[in-house]
């Protein structure tokens, strides 16, 4: 895998996650860097399968849902969410 792409909706949601809690920006940036590195290195096998080409991977407080089609050179993040901590 060589790249990571985002759907416009997932990219917009990631921006909202960062803007909604600027005090945790560093933590979320580190998690995003971890996810990106994991998907670039092992996109087709990263995380867990959710059926078909959909997979999910968790890093820190972030959960990313992504698709990897056979023969693809990039994983595409289609949804991202943050797990809230008490």
Can you give the residue ranges of every domain in the chain? 3-82
Select from 3.40.50.300, 3.40.50.1370, 3.30.830.10, 3.30.2310.20 the CATH code of 3-82. Answer: 3.30.2310.20
Residue 46 CA to chain centroid, in angstroms? 11
Which SS3 state, helix, strand or coil, does residue 63 take?
strand
How far, in Å, CA of 86 to CA of 23, rounded? 15
What confidence tier does 1 reach under pLDDT thresholds 50, 70, 90?
A: low
* Average pLDDT estimate for 59-71: 91
- Read off φ and ψ for residue 64, nearest 5 degrees: -115, 130
Q: Count of alpha carbons within 13 Å of 70, Cβ hemisphere only?
A: 1
- Tell me the whole-structure pTM to 2 decimals: 0.88
Which SS3 state, helix, strand or coil, does residue 58 take?
strand
Q: Which pLDDT tens digit goes with each residue over 38-58?
A: 999 988 889 999 988 899 999
What confidence tier does 75 reach under pLDDT thresholds 50, 70, 90?
A: very high
């Amino acid at each position: 895998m060589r790249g990571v792409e985002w759907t416009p909706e997932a990219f917009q949601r990631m921006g909202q996650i960062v803007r909604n809690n600027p005090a945790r920006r560093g933590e979320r940036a580190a998690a995003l860097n971890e996810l990106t590195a994991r998907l670039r290195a092992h996109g087709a096998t990263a995380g867990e399968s959710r059926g078909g080409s959909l997979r999910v991977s968790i890093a820190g407080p972030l959960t990313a849902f992504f698709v990897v089609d056979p023969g693809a050179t990039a994983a595409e993040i289609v949804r991202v969410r943050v797990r809230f901590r008490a």
